A = this chain, B = another copy of it.
Amino acid sequence: MTDPKFEQLQQRLAEVNNLTKASTLLFWDQRVMMPPGGASARAEAIGTISTIAQERFVDPAIGKLLEELRAFEENSEYDSFEASLIRVTRRDYEKATRVPPELVGDLNRASAVALSAWGPAKEESNFEALRPYLETNLELRHRYVECFDPADETYDVLLDNYEPNMKTADVRQIFEQLKEELVPLMQEIGDAGDVDDSFLHQEFDQDAQRAFSLEVLRRFGYTDDEWRIDQTQHPFMTTPGHGDIRLTTNYRRDDLSSLFATMHEFGHGVYEWGVDESIAGTPLGSGVSLGLHESQSRTWENLIGRNRSFWRYFYPRLQATFPGQFGSVDEEAFYRAVNKVHPSLIRIDADEVTYNLHIILRFELEQELIDERLAVRDLPEAWNARIETYLGVEVPDDARGVLQDMHWAGGGFGYFPTYSLGNVISVQIWERLKEDLDDVDERFERGEFDDVREWLRDHLYRMGRKFSPQETIERVTGSRIDAKPYVRYLREKLAPQAV
């Protein structure tokens, strides 16, 4: 008992999806395969395809169909594909149609230009070279925010693009709790003395790293039939189509960080891969929010990939791959090294504890910028002061400080908190998983990850975007977002008495 209008809606959305997927491939190829000479033609192609995708999505015909389908939606079960598609599309449509196409163009262009300026600015550690672009980005965000009904806080409107329905006040509360617990935890760990991780900083053959990473991925569920992995400077995951999951990683010569980056990107990939077949290719067919997405990348990177039982299985294999480097390092020493907590300057290299302080700092600063309590020109100073307060480290230059991340240049204000929300959510889901699968560690020790992956698929991945992030978390865990399990996990795993 479907409605022909519903089929029309599906058809229009399929077209938008195909345009978006084409654009995804243009982007992937640009970063991974394209000879540099193709850059300018590629920018044009991406511009055309994304504009058409946007035009076709905000087409009033879609608004009309959504109105005409209200009764159909109400007569369908809340959980049904039909009701979910209409509900989620309506929300997307209402947001998208608020923003005039010219402003969308301005936002995209300004981000592209600022991103191009970011690279050299970071290279030269020259914040002033980036400053005007950040100012433009911020100004454009204010114009963007004005397109929406007034929110409790300006930042709410931006946050909503990455973590739908989440309020800044809620994030603040969670982050206050994290700060309260993690700063002293970091102290305790520091007081207990340094962990030796020097053996992680040696030369590692890149082909061997690649082979070992692939061995791990294949155990996780990677197949050549539906995945590929390539090398890029900045690792990322993207899906140019259902059944086509693409990871990238960066095999560095002098450490094993790529292995963890690979498991991280696998976590993003397996979430997309696990979306139910029936909603693939529709607006419901992907991860529901950046926070939930990050919960899965951190699950596979940290909860699994830095787990003692994971290394019980894999460490002998790693030793066999790098006998010169690890022949005389025992499993416990290796485990402690890959879990070493140590305050440092760079977010992406940070450990599980201090990572969150990097995020909290960014979250606070970007609110101050948005609320105009902090001027862009004063940002480096504010950054350096706060890093010192939270992490006790001194910033030697802006390249290793405020310029290290591309997010603000790319216009991504409101993006950072989703990283720590992901950490928090990951452990909530993990605790729930361990109630159902009580011998997780034994499975890992045997190199078995299928049941864990399938549990996550059945309980989380399949849903895609059918429900809001909050509904999704509640459906998986039975409770609202809550920092306590995460803090407990960190303390149990990493506090001095635990090690």
Q: Which A positions have Cβ atoms within 8 angstroms of B?
A: 14-15, 18-19, 21-23, 25-26, 29, 33-42, 44-45, 47-49, 52, 224-228, 240-245, 280-281
Contacts and interface: CB of A to CB of B under 8 A. Distances in A.
Given A22-B49, A34-B241, A38-B240, 15 more contacts: A14-B48, A19-B52, A21-B41, A22-B23, A25-B45, A35-B228, A36-B225, A36-B226, A38-B241, A38-B242, A38-B243, A40-B243, A42-B240, A42-B244, A49-B49
Contacts of A15: 48
A280 B15 CA distance: 28
B35 A225 contact: yes
Contact of A18 (B29, B39, B48): B48
19 contacts: A18-B45, A18-B49, A22-B22, A22-B26, A22-B45, A25-B25, A29-B29, A34-B241, A35-B225, A35-B244, A36-B225, A36-B226, A37-B225, A38-B244, A40-B241, A41-B241, A41-B242, A41-B281, A42-B240
Contacts of A241: 34, 38, 40-42, 44-45
Contact of A224 (B35, B40, B47, B224): B35
Contacts of A14: 44, 48
A41 B22 CA distance: 10
Nearest to A38: B244
Contacts of A25: 25-26, 29, 45
A211 to B, nearest CB: 17
Given A35-B224, A226-B38, A281-B44, A19 B49 contact: yes
* Centre residue among A41, A240, A243 by max chain B CB count within 10 A: A41
A29 B315 CA distance: 36
Contacts of A245: 35
Contacts of A224: 35
Contact of A33 (B35, B228, B280): B228
Contact of A243 (B29, B37, B48): B37
A14 B244 CA distance: 30
Contacts of A47: 18
A39 B241 CA distance: 8
A277 to B, nearest CB: 11
A70 B39 CA distance: 35
Contact of A35 (B23, B37, B226): B226
A29 B25 CA distance: 8
Contacts of A21: 41, 45
A35 B241 CA distance: 10
A36 B227 CA distance: 9
The 7 closest A-B pairs by CB, nearest first: A38-B244, A41-B241, A37-B243, A37-B226, A18-B48, A38-B241, A18-B45
A124 B240 CA distance: 33
* Centre residue among A21, A29, A241 by max chain B CB count within 10 A: A241
